[in-house]
Structure 1
Amino acid sequence: MVDIMSNSVVEGTSPEPWPQLEWEPQVWMPTSGWGVDADFGSGHLPYKSAVPPNIAALTPEPSTEATQAAEAAVQELGRFDAELGARVIGFAPVLLRSEAASSSQIENLTASARAIFSAELGAKGSHNAELIAANTRAMQAAIDLSDSLSPFAITEMHRVLMNDQTRHTPGQWRREAVWIGTRSNSPLGAEFVAPHHDRVPALIDDVIDFTARRDIPALTSTSIAHAQFETIHPFTDGNGRTGRAFAQALLRRRGVTRNVAVPVSAGLLADVGGYHRALTAYREGDVSPIILAFAEASLRAVANSRELVADIDEIKDGWKQRLTVRRSSAAWALLEVIAERPVIDSATAASALGVKQPNVYPALQVLTDAGILKSKAEHRTGPFWRSDEVLGAIDRFAERAGRRERS
């Protein structure tokens, strides 16, 4: 047993085993008995929904392999975070967007770096890019709320993520059944049916209490809290993306990452099937696979992120060779802005440099003449300037993230 208030294991007791899901009977009322996809008959149909255990007072006992992997991953995450040091301001935005894009790609939402950055500026050419841009905002909200994690914080992450999708009640716990399976019109025969919606608030309170403990190692706590969140499935949509944003907030709160959102989702993306199997194993009472999945994903993410940082450093060195204007020119200051945001408009550039918008055009022209930027008129939003070199580096990061290495 665990004393939640003191966050310590009570002397003389042993950790409780991690319980499997239980199930409870439910009744499904088909909306219609007619049509090609209708359920047979018109009466109430039985099915079962999950009943997750309360975990706030449980102490996980992962395998030695999972424990050691988690410890190694935490050390590597902290080392990478510290390596960036004073340069974190320049790389944090790119890494945050890379995490958001990878988390979205797990849900089969893909878009080029150019489309995502353009969507952040208001371009409407790609619906997927707009969704990924919303996920970036949700990730940022998660980090901003990491010091005060609560049920409200989770609903706020979801509200930011789903703000433009009102049919999914952004920022509100679901009031209907949700399930994972091939049928969209019925939970009958589903692979997994989430808990009844009346259970959601108490289950979320419980997982928040679990994350408040300090007797459980940081990555172990984060992995289990994420798996429990995905089991609760508290929203009608956006649970995976919100759950991975929640994980980033937990890593920040526990001090594993202090400056950047290391794109752990990019590591999970290398083996999405393994990630889903680990969630299933968690629901069957085995915590080790999800801890291993997060640990291995963290190590892959750090290696991939180091390569991205090196690529952008090399690009910036090349820019400095090509830019020949005097050092007092605003064009030099604009180079750092472009490395953070490789698609910009004049308003963004002016705001970043702290100058009036008309005064930024000469610097944009200098960088265009030097071949560092390219300009393109966007429908209804005016001209955008982009760095194909930085966008290419981010797209290569995404390609590496989705490539599973043979072992």
Structure 2
Amino acid sequence: MDELGSPAVSHEERPWEPVENGMPLSRRARLASRGPYRAAVPAAIAHLDFALPGHVIAESTDALTEIARFDAELSLPGHGGEFVPLAAVLPRTESASSSQIENVTAGAKALALATLQEKAGANARLVAANVEAMSSAVDMAEDLSEQTLLAAHRVLMHGHADAQPGRFRDAQVWIGGSPFSPHTASFIPPHHDRLPAAMSDLMQFCERTDMPVLVHAALAHAQFETIHPFADGNGRVGRVLVHVMLKRAGATRRLTVPVSSGLLVDTAAYFDALTAFPAGDAAPIVQRVTEAAFAAVGNGRRLHRDILNCYEQWTQVVTARRDSAVWHVLPHLVSQPVVTVQFVQEAVGVSRTAALNAVNHLVKVGVLAPASAAQRDRVWGAGEIISALDEFAVRAGRRRMG
């Protein structure tokens, strides 16, 4: 490590040309939008030696141990003695929590419908895109690069042209203040001309192996948010980066720990930590991600128990023959608690008649119930799993009381 210092940004003046968008402005607003503004210039961190308190590093190491233990213990008993990993459930809980941080919310049923490409609201489609973006990025963890993040952004913001899907921004952005100019913003990320150098430095930082894994991931996330390389979707892609780095370091192998659900416990503290980082204090974001990891593991374990209880109850009420397709459907209901006959047919690899018979049996024993009033292209839901997922979200959204 070549340098000892802090991640504090410097600033540079940039000229501002008011954008004529036809919106009337008061005299005060026009005056406030004139003249140069000061944009952040991120510190180079590729070789920076972060001076963190010992207790912060120790707690992050303890949290990483809990993450690894959680990863090792989470699997779901399936029919025939097989083990069906719960890994498919957790990316959805993580994506829903990450989206909720950005005030994009969707319940478990709506998200499952969106995943099926059935009728769903805009928010559910955004969360479903977040699931896909995170899964694709984590799959590319071994080859982490700018292209990994661009690909995740392309999936996340597909259909949102203003967000420039899959491209780094080509204009100045800012946080807070007026929508007409950056002059009154609470934070102005670097000018887009500086993105190539800033992202190259961040990718070099991500290659380092000389710091604890969770510390490394938290700092990379904070630097990404400081750079703010996209026109939109920075928070969600930045939290994807945390999971990519955990997977790349071998801290997680089979699952995605829903760290964002832990951040949801106290979003104000999370945003304060992201603000402290470019001001030169790296400890708060490491502390916040560490606390989030502990909270996420605890909440995830509770979700695991709830789903396991549901699954065990299903196996007691299903009366079909042991070679019936019904038994092969049950594990799929954990990760996809809203289904159609076509989904069952394709997931299990049976005829449409066998799929319909399996659904009818599961409805008869109370595992599934109609999820819509439509008679054609009917949709069925596993209500107990949907409730368990929604209860996970409620626990994640609880704020600490002073």
CA shift at 1:404, angstroms? 2.5
Residue matched to 2:113: 118
TM-score (norm 1): 0.93
Aligned equivalent of 2:328, options 333, 338, 345:
333
Q: In terms of mean alpha carbon deviation, does 200-209 or 391-400 score higher?
A: 200-209
- The SS at the match of 1:179 is coil
Q: Map 1:326-365 to 2 at 5 A.
A: 326-365=321-360
2:238 pairs with 1:227: no
Query: Does 2:285 correspond to 1:285?
Result: no
| Amino acid in structure 2 at the alignment position of 1:83 | E
What secondary structure is seen at the aligned counterpart in 1 of 2:50? coil
Contact 1:91–1:340 (CA<8 Å) still a contact in 2? yes
Structure 1 equivalent of residue 9 of structure 2: 21
**Gap regions ≥5 residues in structure 2:** 78-82
Of 390, 397, 400, the residue aligned with 1:402 is 397
User: In structure 1, what is the equivalent of residue 65 of structure 2?
Assistant: 75
Contact 1:33 1:40 in 2 (8 A): no
1:9-59 deviation digits (Å, cap 9, x = unpaired): xxxxxx511141101101222123964446416995221110001110112
Q: What one-letter code is carried by the residue in structure 1 that aligns with 2:169?
A: R
Could you tell which deviates more after superposition, 359-368 or 342-351?
A: 342-351
Match for residue 375 of structure 1?
Answer: 370
Partner of 1:299: 294
Does 2:130 align with 1:140? no
Change (3 A) 1:350 1:33: closer
> What letter corresponds to residue 9 of structure 2 in structure 1?
L
Shift of 1:83: 0.8
Give the Cα separation in 1 of the matches to 2:292 and 2:33: 46
Name the residue aligned to 2:18: 30
Shifted more, 115-124 versus 128-137: the winner is 115-124
Q: In the alignment, what sits opposite 1:318?
A: 313
Confirm or deny: 8 A CA contact 2:7 2:45 kept in the other structure: no
Q: Corresponding residue for 1:206?
A: 201
SS in 2 for 1:23: strand
How far apart in 2 are the matches of 1:43 and 1:200? 24
Q: Does 1:54 align with 2:54?
A: no
Report the aligned-residue RMSD: 2.0
Identity of aligned pairs, percent?
41
Evaluate the alpha carbon distance shift between residue 288 and residue 384 of structure 1 in structure 2; reply closer, same or farther with a 3 A threshold.
Answer: same
Count of aligned pairs between the two proteins: 395
Q: CA shift at 1:307, angstroms?
A: 0.2
Task: State which of 266, 271, 277 in structure 1 corresponds to 2:266.
Answer: 271
Greater displacement, 370-379 / 195-204: 370-379
Once the two structures are overlaid, the 10-residue window that deviates more, 161-170 or 297-306, is 161-170
Q: Which shows bigger deviation, 348-357 or 300-309? A: 348-357
* Equivalent pair of 1:123/1:379 in contact (CA under 8 Å): no
Q: Distance in 1 between matches of 2:85 and 2:128?
A: 19
Taking structure 2 as the reference length, the TM-score comes to 0.94
Q: Cα gap change, 1:23/1:116 in structure 2, threshold over 3 Å: closer, same or farther?
A: same
Q: Cα–Cα, structure 1 residues 345 and 292, in superposed 2: closer, same or farther, change >3 Å?
A: same
Q: Distance in 2 between matches of 1:377 and 1:103?
A: 28
Contact 1:66 1:288 in 2 (8 A): yes
Contact 1:90–1:336, Cα closer than 8 Å, also in 2: no
SS at match of 1:364: helix
Whether the 8 Å CA contact 1:70–1:219 is kept in 2: the answer is: yes
One-letter amino acid matched to 1:52:
P
Q: In the aligned structure 2, how far is the partner of 1:18 from the partner of 1:352?
A: 51
Give 1:380 deviation, angstroms.
11
> Residue 169 of structure 1 aligns with which residue?
164
Q: Where does 1:212-251 land on structure 2 (aligned, <5 Å)?
A: 212-251=207-246
Partner of 1:11: none
Amino acid of the residue matched to residue 213 of structure 2?
A
**Matched letter for residue 56 of structure 1:** A
**What is the identity, as a one-letter code, of the residue corresponding to 2:67?**
L
Runs of 4+ in 1 over 6 A off after TM superposition: 378-381
5+ unaligned residues in a row in structure 1: which ranges? 3-14
Q: Which moves more between the two structures, 321-330 or 385-394?
A: 321-330
- For 2:214 and 2:96, how far apart are their aligned partners in 1? 22
Please state how far the C-alpha of 1:190 moved relative to its aligned partner: 0.1
Q: 1:382: Cα distance to partner?
A: 2.0
